[in-house]
Amino acid sequence: MTKQIWLNLPVKNVAKAKDFFWKIGFSFNEQHDTPSSTCMVVGEGHFVVMLFEESVFTGFSQNGITDTNSGSEVLISIDAQNREEVDELAKKVQDAGGTVFAPPAESQGLMYGCGFADLDGHRWNVLYMDFNKLPK
């Protein structure tokens, strides 16, 4: 059956979105780039996030785009190797023009993370999970 899954996100400006994600540490498979899209690769499993200009995205989805100023359709979660990596990513997001809507903090006794919005308002959650703190 299915061998891969990838995420498609609408963006106002592909070049600006690519620059933002590049600055915060993501990589790209530029073989798949077009003037209206870019292929971002996330993590060791090479999860693909395609960033499409809004007009292209709506053509694929046959639906409107969520107003990220008033609601969220999805929260994209990524892992961090340690607390320092969470802190570092939060700083990079701010420096690159994104918004940290939930500053780095502990959660539920075993997680440390933050939440940020990219240039197009898509919400991301970065978590470090300390499995040594899991209740036994």
Question: For every residue of 26-45, which 3-state class applies, written as one string?
Answer: CEECHHHCECCEEEEEECCC
Cβ atoms 90, 100 nearer than 8 A: yes
**Are 93 and 123 within 8 A, CB to CB?**
no
Considering the chain, tell me which residue range(s) the CATH 3.10.180.10 domain(s) occupy.
1-63, 74-136
Mean pLDDT of 98-109: 95
If pLDDT is split at 50, 70 and 90, which confidence band does 57 have?
very high
pLDDT of 109: 84
Q: Which one is the CATH code of 1-63: 3.20.20.480, 3.10.180.10, 3.30.70.1520, 3.40.50.300?
A: 3.10.180.10
Give the right CATH number for 74-136 from 3.30.470.10, 3.40.50.720, 3.30.930.10, 3.10.180.10: 3.10.180.10
Q: Decide if pLDDT at 29 tops 90.
A: yes
Res 130 pLDDT > 90: no
d(CA 69, CA 54): 16
What is the pLDDT, as a whole number, of residue 61?
Answer: 95
